[in-house]
Every structure is written in C-alpha cells, then in structure tokens.
C-alpha cells in the first residue's frame, strides 16, 4: 500500500489506554480520510471518519493534526474511537466478554469523503480489557454472584466493589479495566443474573453485606475496608451500603440519586420506601424515546423524606461525578442535597465534580457517547443525554479522578500517572 500506518503502543493495549496514530508515506499536503469500524459481540457495526491533510513532509500525526471534518473536528487524537456511532440507532457499545478484545479496523483513503478514492493503508487496533497477568475469577460464594478481577503480583491489593444500574445482569468491563490500575475489583450482580431475582424487587442490604465480607476475607484484598463504585441505581445502593454497613472506606457515585429509588430497601428490621414518581410527567419524543428526567418526586418533600439515605452515618469520604446533561434524573440537584445534608450533620463536604455537556452514562475513556439506547429491562429506548466531545473529555477526567480518589483513601497514594494524551 502507498502509506504506512503506525500505532503507539504497537500491538495490544488496554481499552482505556491512549494510542498515537501516525500515517507516513503520503504526499506533501495530501488530503486523506481516516475511517474506523468495530463490531461488537452481537455483530452491531460502529463507524467513525475524519478528514485530514498531511504536513509538508507527507506525515500525518493525529496528535498534532486537527480533523477538518467528518465525525468530529479539531485536534482529537482519540476521536476515531470516541466518535464511533452505531450503524443502527439506539445501540450502545458494551463489552460483554472481557476475555476477548475489541478489534478496531483503521483505514486510510485517498482524498476527502464523499469523494475519497483508493485505499492507501490500514491497521487493526486491538483494544483489550484484561491487561497481561491479570486474573478473572468467577465468584459464587454463598449468595454472592459476580466476578473478581485481580492485578498481577502477590498483593494484597486495595479492594473495590463495582455496581451498575437498573439494567441488571453482570457488567464486567469497568471492573476489569479498573483492576488494571492496581485494584482488586468485584463486579457484583444483584438481579437478572443466574439464580438471583429476575426483577428489581425489595432489595435486601444483607446481600451486599455478604459481598463486603467476601472481599475483606479474601487473601488478595487489602483491608481494613473496601471502596464502592456505583452508577445510577447502583449509586444509591452504594450510598445505602456506606451508610449502614461496616467495612466501607470510600465511595464513588456516578450520576446517583441521594434517595432510595425504584424499589423498597430492607436491612434487618429497617424499611426504606422508594422515592415517589409521577408517570404522567414522562416525556415521549417523536421517535418514541422516553425521557425520565421529570418523573421523580423531590426527595426534600415531606412525603418522600423517608426515602432519603442517611449518608451522614457513613464513615468514609464521598466523590460524586455529575453529568450536567443527565436526562435520566437530576444528578446535580441530588449531589447538592448530599453535600448540604453532610455539612448539616457536621461532616466534611463531599468532593463533587460537575461535567458540562455530559449525560447519564459516564463510561471509562474512549467509549463512544450513547445519547439514547434501549433499556435491557424496560425494552424501550431512554434518553441519557450528553454531547460527544464534552462526554469524551469528561470520561477521561472522571476515570483519572476515580483512580486518584481510591488510591488516596484505600492505599494512601497521593496521585496516579495520567492517561491523558
């Protein structure tokens, strides 16, 4: 082929690791189109493209050359990943089998699309979810169902329990990537998986207490406590765990409510109703996408006060990551309630990071934005919100903040190496 595509690092690399893409052997100032494509495990196709111009030496370095058009514009070295869009609408890119990589095909075409010509060069980016030497251990201990990811080495390692939201099942990709940064991470299922309840009904905290005990008794997990990482419904469950259970050192919430949501919560002789909602405030767009933002009642109203989680009982610090364009619920409002409640009880103000233009699903770096997708339980499309470029920046920053927070509070490290390009 006429051009040579170089990837740094060459060969395999982790999904959350930046890669430098350069193209050599072009003509001075030559216009080219770069295209990427990826198929997920279900065969769904995702694509992105960008228009570029080689420099005076016939070199194209995506770390220095701005995109002139296509799926994005400007200097975006990782744009050909985070700008991937599904061929069919409402499909979210999710890694189901973390033991296999995503293969991203990269093509260099002569000229600018739609008038691009012959293929000049190609390469394949192997994006892995298990770094070399890591171990994936299925967990079926008592009632606990999940997967434990262990870094290479003797350990013990600071431990984290990772919870996703109301879609159910077992999501491993965030836990596997986080374990690549020196943590023992348990991806924990709590419904719609194997012999767990099929539906999210009447949650009991004793199940999560058992998961904490499993982690703290594991020889590869460093005590005296574990960290919690929760997204959406998993976030308010983490708040409840931190408030009522022992052995929690630090908690990170991604677009979480400050009240118990969706289903009642039980612990011993205590009962917490779910936050009220008004289905009449559900908005349905012309394309049939549901917007849940305004259906939730105000937790501060007296009728809903019993659903508020007493997070002032927690012993460890909190980090709230808030998408300012979250269309699922009012994450910014809930984080403010949490901060005010903690301070009213003489506790330290939580760390809150607000991300403008960012929707509900704050993923690990380089996952493309999914503004709307079909909910796995509801079977209908819901709007998450977000703007692609802002979302991509937020996800890189949030990933760094999560690692820094947990390293500081679980292992005493003050900082971690930056993964930003």
Q: Which active-site residues does the annotation give?
A: 232, 326, 360
Please give the angle made by the CA atoms of 267, 268 and 274, to the nearest 5 degrees.
30
In degrees and rounded to multiples of 5, residue 407 shows phi and psi of -60, -40
* Distance separating alpha carbons of residues 73 and 196, to the nearest angstrom: 46
Q: If DSSP codes are grouped into helix, strand and coil, which group holds residue 3?
A: coil
* Distance separating alpha carbons of residues 107 and 5, to the nearest angstrom: 9
Quote the tokens at residue 307: 């659903």
Cβ–Cβ under 8 Å, residues 253 and 321: yes
CA 379 to chain centre: 21
* Distance separating alpha carbons of residues 69 and 65, to the nearest angstrom: 12
Q: In what order do the strands lie in the sheet with 248-254?
A: 135-141, 144-150, 184-188, 157-163, 221-231, 248-254, 318-323, 351-355
Q: How far apart are the first and last CA of the chain?
A: 29
Helix ranges restricted to H, 28-108: 79-82
Report the run of H or E that residue 381 belongs to, with start and end.
strand 381-383
Quote the tokens at residue 69: 């058009």
Helix ranges restricted to H, 73-196: 79-82, 173-179
How many CB atoms lie under 10 A from the CB of residue 263?
Answer: 16
Q: In the block, which residue shows the tokens 């940064």?
A: 181
CA 362 to each of CA 28, 109, 110, 293: distance values in angstroms, whole numbers, following the listed order: 40, 33, 35, 17
Q: 151-181 as b/e, with b when 16 or more CB fall inside 10 Å?
A: beeebebbbbbbbbbbbbbbbbbbbbbbbbb
CA 185 to chain centre: 14
Quote the tokens at residue 221: 């997990």
């Amino acid at each position: 082929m006429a051009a040579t595509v170089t990837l740094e690092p060459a060969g395999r690399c982790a999904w959350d690791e930046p890669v430098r893409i350069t193209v050599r052997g072009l003509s001075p100032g030559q216009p080219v189109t770069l295209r990427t494509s990826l198929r997920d495990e279900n065969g769904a196709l995702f694509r992105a493209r960008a228009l570029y111009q080689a420099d005076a030496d016939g070199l194209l370095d995506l770390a220095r050359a701005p995109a002139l058009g296509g799926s994005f514009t400007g200097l975006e070295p990782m744009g050909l990943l985070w700008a991937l869009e599904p061929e069919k609408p409402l499909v979210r890119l999710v890694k189901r089998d973390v033991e296999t990589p995503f293969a991203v095909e990269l093509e260099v075409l002569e000229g600018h699309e739609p008038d691009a010509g012959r293929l000049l060069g190609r390469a394949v980016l192997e994006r892995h979810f298990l770094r070399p030497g890591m171990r994936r251990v299925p967990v079926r201990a008592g009632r606990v169902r999940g997967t434990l990811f262990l870094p290479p080495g003797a350990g013990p390692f600071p431990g984290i329990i990772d919870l996703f939201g109301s879609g159910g099942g077992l999501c491993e990709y965030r836990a596997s990537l986080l374990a690549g940064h020196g943590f023992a991470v348990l991806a924990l299922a709590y419904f719609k998986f194997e012999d767990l309840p099929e539906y999210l009904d009447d949650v009991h905290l004793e199940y999560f207490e058992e998961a904490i005990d499993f982690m703290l008794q594991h020889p590869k997990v460093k005590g005296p406590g574990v960290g919690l990482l929760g997204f959406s419904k998993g976030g308010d469950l983490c708040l409840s765990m931190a408030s009522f259970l022992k052995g929690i050192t630090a908690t990170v919430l991604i677009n979480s409510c400050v009240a118990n949501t969706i289903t009642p919560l039980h612990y011993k002789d205590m009962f917490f109703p779910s936050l009220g909602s008004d289905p009449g405030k559900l908005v349905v767009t012309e394309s049939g996408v549901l917007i849940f933002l305004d259906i939730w009642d105000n937790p501060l109203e007296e009728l809903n006060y019993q659903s508020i989680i007493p997070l002032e009982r927690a012993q460890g610090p909190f980090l709230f990551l808030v998408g300012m364009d979250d269309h699922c619920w009012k994450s910014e409002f809930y984080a403010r309630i949490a901060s005010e409640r903690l301070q009213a009880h003489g506790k330290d103000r939580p760390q809150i990071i607000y991300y403008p233009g960012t929707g509900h699903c704050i993923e690990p770096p380089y996952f493309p934005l999914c503004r709307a997708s079909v909910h796995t339980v509801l079977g209908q499309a819901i709007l998450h919100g977000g703007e692609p470029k802002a979302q991509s920046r937020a996800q890189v920053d949030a990933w760094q903040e999560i690692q820094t927070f947990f390293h500081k509070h679980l292992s005493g490290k003050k900082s971690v190496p930056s993964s930003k390009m």
